[in-house]
């Protein structure tokens, strides 16, 4: 058996997220399911595509990482061409490589980086509309940056997580920055892992602070009191992209 590492980009607009889901006995369109069907067709065997983690419905990825195990000896370059020929145009595999048998896309991951894009102009250009959250209100960006700085380090982020999610809610944020790019604001965040809807909750809370709907010091109070009642609006999936997943020096060969 071979372990293959796949790097995948996708537009999540028309998908119910990464992970396979069923509703009323039928599978909903997801990235994982679409990829498994394509690879099974090419490799002529049942294939499980294991991702580095979930992305929610509507969330995009520039470099999601996944792995499969296969009996096939098909060269990686040939498989890469074949799978991109079969996949729909809103999913693309940019790289396939042989990996160490111990490599696991989720458990071997060390860091993940996300970007949340805010468009602050009057009119959103149509070609970026699926990838930004349009915020019409004037934002106090300096205050948002000061609030965001409190998120760095190791904290219990249960106040920013969906209720009923993971039991272990402590994570480490290595870097967070709010950058102006023309009419856009980019919230870039890197950590050792993220709870479900955590990045969107962080983004929504910072937006509400920037609008003046939440007071200064909200982030520190949320981290201290660990209650979601203090949180702002959860920002929509539109605008959120997984940028990259970082692994150690081992795992691929």
Q: Tell me what pLDDT residue 201 has.
A: 96
The CA distance from 65 to 67, in Å, is: 7
Fold equal for 2-107 and 110-244: yes
98 is catalytic: no
* Nearest CA among 196, 228, 204 for reference residue 57: 196
Which pLDDT value is given to residue 22?
73
Cβ count within 10 A of residue 136: 9
Q: What is the pLDDT along the chain (253 residues), one digit of tens a residue?
A: 999 999 999 999 999 999 988 766 677 899 999 999 999 999 999 999 999 998 999 999 999 999 999 999 999 999 999 999 999 999 999 999 999 999 999 999 999 999 999 999 999 999 999 999 999 999 999 999 999 999 999 999 999 987 766 789 999 999 999 999 999 999 999 999 999 999 999 999 999 999 999 999 999 999 999 888 888 899 999 999 999 999 986 544 3
CA distance 114 to 156: 19
Alpha helices in the chain (DSSP H): 31-43, 76-86, 141-149, 198-211, 218-225
The pLDDT, as a whole number, for residue 251 is 43
**Token pair recorded at residue 145:** 């940056």
| Entry pTM | 0.93
* DSSP one-letter code for 41: H
Beta carbons within 10 angstroms of residue 238's beta carbon? 18
CATH number, span 2-107: 3.30.70.580
| Sequence spans of domains, the chain | 2-107, 110-244
- pLDDT score of 30: 96
Q: Which of 11, 33, 56, 208 is catalytic?
A: 56
- What is the Cα–Cα distance from 86 to 109, expressed in whole angstroms? 28
Residue closest to 161 by CA, chosen among 216, 234, 93, 243: 234
CATH number attached to the domain at 110-244: 3.30.70.660
């Amino acid at each position: 058996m071979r372990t293959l590492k796949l790097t995948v980009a996708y537009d999540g607009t028309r998908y119910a997220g990464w992970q396979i889901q069923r509703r009323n006995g039928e599978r909903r369109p997801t990235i994982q399911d679409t990829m498994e069907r394509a690879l099974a067709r090419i490799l002529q065997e049942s294939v499980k595509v294991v991702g580095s983690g979930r992305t929610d419905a509507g969330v995009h990825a520039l470099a999601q990482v996944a792995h499969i195990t296969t009996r096939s000896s098909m060269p990686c370059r040939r498989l890469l061409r074949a799978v991109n020929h079969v996949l729909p145009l809103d999913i693309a595999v940019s790289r396939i490589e042989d990996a160490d048998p111990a490599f696991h896309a989720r458990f071997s991951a060390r860091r993940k980086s996300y970007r949340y894009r805010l468009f602050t102009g009057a009119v959103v250009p149509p070609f970026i509309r699926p990838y930004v959250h349009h915020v019409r209100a004037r934002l106090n960006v300096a205050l948002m940056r000061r609030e965001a700085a409190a998120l760095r380090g190791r904290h219990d982020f249960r106040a920013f997580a969906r209720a009923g999610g993971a039991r272990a809610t402590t994570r480490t944020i290595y870097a967070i920055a709010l950058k102006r790019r023309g009419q856009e604001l980019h919230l870039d965040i890197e950590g050792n892992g993220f709870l479900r809807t955590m990045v969107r909750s962080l983004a929504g809370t910072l937006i509400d602070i920037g609008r003046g709907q939440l007071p200064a010091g909200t982030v520190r109070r949320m981290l201290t009191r660990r209650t979601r009642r203090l949180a702002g609006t959860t920002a929509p999936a539109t605008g959120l992209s997984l940028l990259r997943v970082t692994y150690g020096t081992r795992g691929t060969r």
